Amino acid sequence: MGKFTQDAKQLLEFVGGKDNIKAVTHCVTRMRFVLVDPKKADIKGIEALGSVKGTFTQSGQFQVIIGNAVADFYNDFAEESGIKGVSKSEVKQEAKGNMNLLQRAIANLAEIFVPLIPAIVVGGLILGFRNVIGDIKLLEDGTKALTEVSVFWAGMHHFLWLIGEAVFHFLPVGVTWSISRKMGTSEILGIVLGITLVSPQLLNAYGVAGGADIPFWDFGFVQINMIGYQAQVIPAMMAGFVLVYLEKFWRKVTPEYVMMIVVPFMSLLPAVIVAHVVLGPIGWAIGSWISNVVYAGLTSVVGWLFASIFGFLYAPLVITGLHHMTNAIDIQLTADFGGTMLWPMIALSNIAQGSAVMAMIFLQKNNERAQQVSIPAAISCYLGVTEPAMYGVNLKYLFPFIGAIIGSALAGTYSVAMSVMANSIGVGGLPGFLSIQPQHMLNFVVAMLIAIIVPFAITYVVGQKKLPAEER
């Protein structure tokens, strides 16, 4: 008999029994179910189980927060239920049956960008470090940066650009690869397509933006501009989807004995032509329009209002999954303006959620079970993972969530008012300052203090009146 056998048996009953489970798997902290009828789940019964830290529904999946012991719980659940688990990708595919068209589109967008985030985060941190050693005048009475007085650090500054360039300039390769991977087509063709968008033969996108003369391929009857799409996300996405649908079409109609020759050739060549003749210019225009609108909103006389609304609504957007759209916008802002004012507000929202949980830790200091949920949730939230805090604590009691989004709105407003800009997407939460451009770090620290103090104060004061004695 396993450690969690009894709770696993009860969980099976509370989710509606074996017949109500389409698919089940687990991630780092959560059991993930796709239920035939989500209404049959007894949420109160599930959350009363000793092993359960909370529940929530997202992207068509009913998720039960277990914590770090989720793998052991999952094994006991599988043994008790007799249900064979599936991969996370299969669960996601099943879950799409519970989503509407918009939710499916958002889920697909998220699945494209999630595999790219580790590289983008590393690239942002490296750019931030380069700025610290190359731009901040700390030495010789504030007149010189570290790279100006040290050969080693000058060399390191130059060397690290190798990684920064690989991440951001050649990002379209990652985008087209990720689309091919997600859609189940040839990943190598996705990579090749991405390379054709950033080839050294082409005029660099930054050169195009700077007004350089654009070379062209001359076919006699037509000329095609030789423009690169370095750091451009939307042209890469559009080209990637053309490639995968071409490949799927040719797989269906091509005899198997010539498939190896016909499918790659008839998929890749038209995709590359369409990408450079049609989709690249259109995608560039769309991406520039989006980034210009967002940037204009953030820097206008009503930028404070834009920031307040975004800071207030970001955490609710996380609940719906719509927050994944900000990844593409952040990347486009970075490409067009050398940084993003949007991402610092996201980091501040994460901090605000963690700060509300910190207040709950103090309010419930004598509630051992609550502490088992709140302490790990606060730590993960301050490191950029908000789900355990939001679903395990803040949304459960609601007033901490409201305190957090108010603090996030105020912190975001200050951040935008001070024009705080990040190099790119970074590590959410407290480590977020590492991705902030050096000249804005002090103001970002002030914004972080707002995101810590305001949610904590609101949650603690309201909690003293609203939180029942038995919850403490």
Q: What is the DSSP string of 22-89?
A: EEEEE-SSEEEEEES-GGG--HHHHHTSTT--EEEEETTEEEEE--TTHHHHHHHHHHHH-PPP--HH
| pLDDT grade for 95, boundaries at 50, 70 and 90 | low
pLDDT in tens, 231-244: 888 899 999 999 99
Domain shared by 270 and 302, yes or no: no
Of all residues in the chain, the percent with pLDDT exceeding 70 is 92
pLDDT at residue 174 greater than cutoff 80:
yes
Side chain identity at residue 373, one-letter code: V
Enumerate the active-site residues: 27
Whether 105 is covered by a domain: the verdict is no
Region 162-172: mean pLDDT is: 87
Residue that finishes a domain, picked among 288, 312, 336: 288
Q: Which of 288, 318, 351 is the last residue of a domain?
A: 288
| Mean pLDDT within 111-136 | 79
Cβ neighbours of residue 172 closer than 8 Å, sequence gap 6 or more: 194, 197, 198, 229, 230, 231, 232, 233, 235, 236
C-beta separation of 359 from 463 below 8 A? yes
Do 198 and 172 form a contact (C-beta atoms < 8 A)? yes
Query: Per-residue pLDDT for 411 more than 90?
Result: yes
Q: How many domains, the chain?
A: 3
Residue 107 included in any domain: no
Q: State the DSSP string of 85-124.
A: P--HHHHHHHHGGGS-HHHHHHHHHHHHHGGGHHHHHHHH
Q: Between 139 and 248, where is the model more confident?
A: 248
Question: Looking at the domain assignment, is residue 130 inside a domain?
Answer: yes
**If pLDDT is split at 50, 70 and 90, which confidence band does 285 have?**
confident
Top-confidence residue, 141 or 78: 78
Average the pLDDT over 386-409 and give the result: 87
The tokens for 102 are: 């918009």
CATH number at residue 53: 3.30.1360.60
Out of 66-70, 99-103, 108-112, 462-466, pick the least confident: 99-103
Q: Does residue 254 surpass a pLDDT of 90? A: yes
Among the three residues 47, 70, 99, which one is the final residue of a domain in this structure?
99
In a domain, residue 109? The reply is no
For residues 280 and 164, membership in a common domain is answered with yes
CB atoms within 10 A of CB 93: 15
Confidence (pLDDT) at 404 = 94
Query: Is pLDDT of 12 > 80?
Result: yes
Task: Say whether both 184 and 330 belong to one domain.
Answer: no
Average pLDDT value for residue range 321-346? 81
Q: What tens digit of pLDDT does each residue of 194-221 get?
A: 999 999 899 887 777 667 788 989 888 8
305-333 CB burial, b ≥16 within 10 A, e <16: ebbbebbbbbbebbbebbbbbbbbbbbbb
What's the whole-number mean pLDDT along residues 391-419?
91
Please state, in angstroms and rounded to a whole number, the distance separating the CA atoms of residues 287 and 318. 23
**Are residues 122 and 91 part of one domain?**
no
Q: Check residue 99 and give its pLDDT.
A: 62
Name the band, by pLDDT with cuts 50, 70 and 90, for residue 261.
very high
Mean pLDDT of 91-101: 62
Is residue 98 pLDDT above 70, yes or no?
no
106 in a structural domain: no
Q: Is residue 232 part of a domain?
A: yes
Are 156 and 62 in a shared domain? Answer: no
d(CA 124, CA 244): 30
Q: Quick one: 359 and 399 in the same domain?
A: yes
Contact 92, 110 (CB under 8 A): no
CA distances from 203 to 20, 161, 210, 223 (A): 56, 20, 11, 15
* Residue with more model confidence, 109 or 268: 268
Task: State how far the Cα of 46 lies from the Cα of 30, in Å rounded to an integer.
Answer: 13
What confidence tier does 122 reach under pLDDT thresholds 50, 70, 90? confident
Looking at residues 352-371, what average pLDDT do you find? 89
Is a pLDDT exceeding 90 seen at residue 127? no
In this structure, the answer to whether residues 174 and 192 fall within a common structural domain is yes
| Same domain, residue pair 93 and 159 | no
- Given a cut of 90, whether residue 50 has pLDDT beyond it is no
Q: How many CB atoms lie within 10 A of CB 3?
A: 13
Q: Name which residue leads in pLDDT, 470 or 34.
A: 34
User: Within this chain, do residues 386 and 410 fall inside the same structural domain, yes or no?
Assistant: yes
Which structural domain range is residue 386 located in? 297-471
Identify whether residues 246 and 346 lie together within a single domain. Answer: no
Do 252 and 364 reside in the same domain of the chain?
no
Pairing of strands 30-35, 54-58: unpaired
pLDDT for 190: 96
DSSP state of 423: S
374 and 280 belong to one structural domain: no
- In a domain, residue 49? The reply is yes
DSSP H or E segment with residue 21:
strand 21-26
Residue 192 CA to residue 176 CA, distance in Å, equals 9
Residue 104 located in a structural domain: no
Given a cut of 80, whether residue 153 has pLDDT beyond it is yes
